[in-house]
Structure 1
Amino acid sequence: MLSCYKNAKLTIGNSSWATRELNIWCGENITIGKDVLIASFVLITDLYYGINPESLMNYQKQEIITQSVIIEDGCWLGDKVSVLPGSKIGKKSIIGANSVVIGEIPLIVWQWEIQRE
C-alpha cells in the first residue's frame, strides 16, 4: 500500500526491490536509495498523528507530524520491520526481522533484537 499526501516526495533508487505487503505512508519526504532489499510486511512512514491524551480532539483529528526518512543505498530490511519518522539507515546496513527503527543507524550495521523465552 502506498499513501502519499499532496506535495509529499517519495524517491526510490534504481534496482531496489520489495516483496509483498510493503506499506509506505509519505507525508513529507521518504528517500529509499538504490539496491535496497525490502522483505515482506514492512512499514516505512514519515508521519504520525498527534498523541496528546489531554487534547479535546480525537487522536485521528490531531495535527499530523512529519519527519523525513532516509534509507541509504544497499540496505536490507527484514520481514516486519517498521521504519518510523525521523529515521536514517546508513549505507549497506541490515535491519533484522521484527525490528523497529527510530533514529539513526550508522552505515554497515547489522541491527536486530534477540528475544529470549
Structure 2
Amino acid sequence: MDNLKHFSKMKRLQELLLTTLLGDIPTILGGVKLRNLLYRAIFGQIGSSVYIQDGVEFISTDSITIGDGVYIFKGVRIDGKGHENNRINLENGVVIERNVVIGALNNTSIDIDRDTFIGPSVCIGGPGDIKIGKHCLIAAHTGIYANNHNFTDPMEPIKYQGITSKGIVIEDDCWLGHGVKVLDGVTIGRGSVIGAGAVVTKDIPPLSIAVGIPARVIKSRDGKKIAKSTELPISSSN
C-alpha cells in the first residue's frame, strides 16, 4: 500500500512538472509541438496531430485518452481525479472550444465520440457516466450534469444529503442550442435538435425537435408537428 501511494505521488509530481512547464508555452514558440510530443509520457493515450493551446489545465492525465486530430483551446479544464477507475475519452477529430470544463468526479466514464464540437464555456460533469455521440454540435454555455442532489430532509444541509447519478446519453448527430441544460438520467435520441435555453429533464426520441423549460418535443425532423407550442429559437451559434 505504501509503495502504491509513493508511486501515485511520483506520477502526480511528474504530471505537475510537465503540465506546468509546458502548459503555458505559447503556440508561436512551438508549444503545441512540445505538448504533443512530451505529454505522451503522462496521458493514458494521445494520438497524432493533436492541437493543445497554451493555458489548458489537465488533472489526472493517466485517466485521459485523446485521439487523432483533437483540438483543445485556451482555458479548458479536464479533470479526471476522484477515482482510479475514472476515464475521459476524446475520440478522433473532437474540438473543445475555450473555457470548457469537463470533470469526472467519482468512478466516472465520459466519452465524446469522433468529430463532435463542444462550444465555449460548456460544462460537462459526472459522477454519472456521460456519452456524447459522433458528429454532435454542443453550443456555448450548455450544461450536461450527470448528478442530482438529495434534499428530502429539511433539517440537514443539502450538501450533506448525498447525490444520485444515473448518467446521460446524447446519441449521434445531435445539435444542442445555446445555453441548453441536460439533467441526469436523460437520453437524447439520434439526430435530435434541442432549442436554445431548453432544460432537458426527460428522454427525447430520435429525430425530434424539442424546446422549452422543461423541454418538450414539438415536431419531428420530417416536419410533422407533435404538439402546439410557442416555438423558441434554435441557436445559430455552434
Q: Normalising by structure 2, report the TM-score.
A: 0.46
What residue in structure 1 maps to residue 48 of structure 2? none
State whether structure 2 residue 191 is matched by structure 1 residue 89. Answer: no
> Given residue 44 of structure 1, which amino acid in structure 2 is its aligned partner?
I
Which of 129, 150, 153 is the equivalent residue of 1:29? 129
Give the conservation status (yes or no) of the 8 Å contact 2:146–2:165: yes
Could you say which structure has the larger radius of gyration?
2
How high is the sequence identity, in percent, across the aligned residues?
30
Query: Alpha carbon RMSD of aligned pairs, Å?
Result: 1.5
Which of 98, 106, 114 is the equivalent residue of 2:205? 106
> Given residue 122 of structure 2, which amino acid in structure 1 is its aligned partner?
L
For the residue of structure 2 that corresponds to 1:60, the secondary structure is: helix
What residue in structure 2 maps to residue 7 of structure 1? 107
Equivalences for residues 41-60 of structure 1 within 5 A: 41-54=141-154, 56-60=155-159
| In 1: Cα distance, 2:205 partner to 2:176 partner | 14
Which of 161, 170, 173 is the equivalent residue of 1:71? 170
What residue in structure 2 maps to residue 17 of structure 1? 117
| In 1: Cα distance, 2:195 partner to 2:109 partner | 26
**Higher strand fraction: Structure 1 or Structure 2?**
1
Return 5+ residue gaps in structure 2 as ranges.
1-100, 213-229, 233-238
| In 1: Cα distance, 2:184 partner to 2:144 partner | 8
Q: Normalising by structure 1, report the TM-score.
A: 0.92
State whether structure 2 residue 158 is matched by structure 1 residue 62. Answer: no
- What's the offset of the Cα at 1:82? 0.3
- What's the offset of the Cα at 1:61? 1.4
- Give the total of aligned pairs: 115
| In 2: Cα distance, 1:109 partner to 1:42 partner | 19
| In 2: Cα distance, 1:4 partner to 1:57 partner | 26
**Higher helix fraction: Structure 1 or Structure 2?**
2
For the residue of structure 2 that corresponds to 1:73, the secondary structure is: coil
